């Protein structure tokens, strides 16, 4: 067992990582003084694979939400809350969320508003949810107008990570999650770059155990410093300015989030080098780490003009440019102004270079 305590103004919580943890979840909850859940929430994909077993072992009712980012919306929250009412969950009842970031964000959000807030436990089952979504206490859902526009800070009582669940995760999802591992390593633990599994070990869940805990450690440190996102937490957006623009410009259909962030990291590396913050050696290390995860879907057919309106849309932006997070040789610099014309120039360079 490995565990890490995260302090939060909303209540401290522990992140526990153990292979096979899901086969003894009840015991683990007891060990950490957390009550048994009154509802296990999952989705129609992860339910049959993992959550049904958990619910059965705990003797707890299982709720399966619809799968996919398109369902991270009000209707699923209302459906879930209606079910909790039907099952007589009261103010002190605890719920467990078993799934990827979509499911844990939705369930955590519902838990934060049901009867003004009930406790929950997060059991992330994707690499991305383990290294990113599970720590930091953010919950939320999407609106027609954009992603994560409604949300709360409502940390779980406990996060339980079992890398065994990665055995059923599609390889594409695994590699996309690994991009966030590279991002996190660059921000706060560059030695981890050498410990990131490359193929064929990427498919061996055991190979991820250490990387996951080290990412959780970095993210916990960053969010503890800046829980409500005033400054330091922005570091976690490395690679996300172009990444978000690519996702939006392609209607969230072409890229998995991590794949868009892969392009975003390659762009940020170029911008960091141009701005004299990242040396040739650092540039080579960051680029190799991203490329080592395989080629993300192509960007060659995208016109830079299609991208432009989406760059920095979710951020501070003035006439001349957007504030980017740029990589330095040993971390990141936040709040770096980059003119959008320069960002587009770098985008064209990446297109010319192709995926290889
Ligand atoms: N709260 C936060 O701080 C935070 C941080 C980062 C991302 N997020 C959110 O996370 C979401 C993305 O999460 P994601 O990448 O995990 O995507 P996801 O939740 O959509 O999961 C990807 C797919 O894999 C399936 N899946 C999950 N676990 C599986 C398993 N073990 N085996 C087989 N299939 C499995 C899911 O059902 C889904 O179809 C986004 O909505 C994003 O906004 C939140
Ligand atoms: Zn991300």
Q: How far apart are the first and last CA of the chain?
A: 40
Give distance in angstroms: CA of 4 to centre of ligand 1: 22
Q: Which residue puts its alpha carbon closest to atom 41 of ligand 1? A: 102
* pLDDT tens digits for range 287-314: 999 999 999 999 999 999 999 999 987 6
Helices 257-274 and 171-188 meet at what angle, rounded to 10? 30
Mean of the pLDDT values across residues 144-165? 96
Pick the ligand that lies closest to the CA of residue 71.
1
161-181 pLDDT per residue, tens: 999 999 999 999 999 999 999
Nearest ligand 1 atom to the CA of 44 is: 37
For residue 63, is pLDDT > 50?
yes
Mean pLDDT along residues 48-57: 98
Q: Which atom of ligand 1 is nearest to the CA of 139?
A: 1
Closest protein CA for atom 35 of ligand 1: 169
259-284 pLDDT, tens digit per residue, is 999 999 999 999 999 999 999 999 99
Mean pLDDT of the chain: 94
Q: Which two tokens stand for residue 109?
A: 């959000």
Q: Which atom of ligand 1 is nearest to the CA of 151?
A: 1
CA of 125 to the centre of ligand 1 (A): 8
**Cα–Cα dist 246/348, whole Å:** 13
Who's near 77: CB < 8 A, 6+ residues apart? 106, 109, 110, 113, 141
342 is catalytic: no
H/E element holding 350? helix 340-353
Ligand 1 shell residues, CB under 6 Å: 43, 45-46, 49, 67, 69, 72, 99-103, 105, 125-126, 128-129, 132-133, 136, 138, 147-148, 165, 168-169, 173, 257
pLDDT at 1: 65
Say if CB 270 and CB 343 are below 8 A apart. Answer: no
Report whether 61 contacts 87 (CB < 8 A): yes
What is the Å distance from ligand 2's center to 239 Cα? 8
Considering every ligand atom shown, identify the ligand nearest to the alpha carbon of residue 252 and give its number.
1
Of 76, 206, 168, 184, the C-alpha closest to 128 is: 184
Residue 320 has pLDDT above 80, yes or no: no
Cis bond leading into 180, ω under 30°? no
Residue 174 phi/psi, 5° resolution? Answer: -65, -45
- As a whole-number percent, the residues of the chain with pLDDT over 70 amount to 97
Residue 356, pLDDT score:
45
For 14-28, 145-159, 217-231, which range has the lowest pLDDT when averaged over its residues? 217-231
Say whether 240 is catalytic: yes
């Amino acid at each position: 067992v490995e565990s890490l305590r995260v302090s939060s103004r909303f209540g401290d919580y522990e992140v526990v990582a153990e292979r096979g943890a899901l086969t003894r979840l009840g015991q683990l909850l007891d060990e950490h003084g957390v009550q048994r859940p009154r509802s296990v929430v999952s989705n129609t994909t992860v339910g049959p694979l993992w959550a049904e077993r958990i619910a059965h072992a705990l003797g707890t009712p299982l709720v399966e939400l619809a799968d996919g980012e398109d369902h991270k919306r009000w209707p699923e929250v209302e459906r879930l809350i209606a079910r909790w009412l039907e099952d007589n969950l009261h103010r002190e009842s605890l719920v467990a969320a078993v799934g990827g970031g979509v499911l844990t964000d939705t369930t955590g959000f519902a838990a934060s508003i049901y009867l003004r807030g009930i406790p929950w436990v997060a059991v992330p089952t994707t690499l991305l949810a383990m290294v990113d979504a599970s720590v930091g206490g953010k919950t939320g859902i999407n609106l027609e107008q954009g992603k994560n526009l409604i949300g709360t800070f409502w940390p779980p009582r406990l996060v339980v990570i079992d890398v065994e669940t990665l055995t059923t995760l599609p390889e594409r999802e695994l590699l996309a999650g690994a991009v966030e591992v590279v991002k996190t390593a660059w921000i706060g633990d560059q030695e981890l770059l050498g410990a990131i599994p490359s193929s064929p070990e990427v498919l061996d869940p055991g190979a991820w155990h250490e990387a996951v805990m080290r990412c959780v450690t970095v993210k916990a440190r960053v969010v503890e410093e800046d829980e409500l996102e005033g400054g330091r937490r922005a570091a976690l957006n490395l690679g996300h300015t172009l990444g978000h623009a690519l996702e939006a410009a392609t209607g969230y259909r072409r890229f998995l989030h991590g794949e868009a962030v892969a392009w975003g990291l390659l762009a940020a590396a170029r911008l960091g080098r141009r701005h004299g913050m990242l040396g040739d050696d650092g540039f080579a290390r960051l680029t190799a780490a991203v490329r080592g995860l395989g080629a993300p879907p192509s960007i060659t057919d995208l016109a830079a003009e299609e991208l432009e309106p989406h760059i920095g849309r979710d951020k501070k932006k003035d006439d001349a440019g957007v504030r980017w997070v740029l990589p330095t040789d040993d971390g990141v610099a936040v709040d770096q102004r980059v003119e959008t014309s320069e960002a587009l120039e770098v985008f064209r360079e990446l297109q010319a270079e192709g995926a290889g």
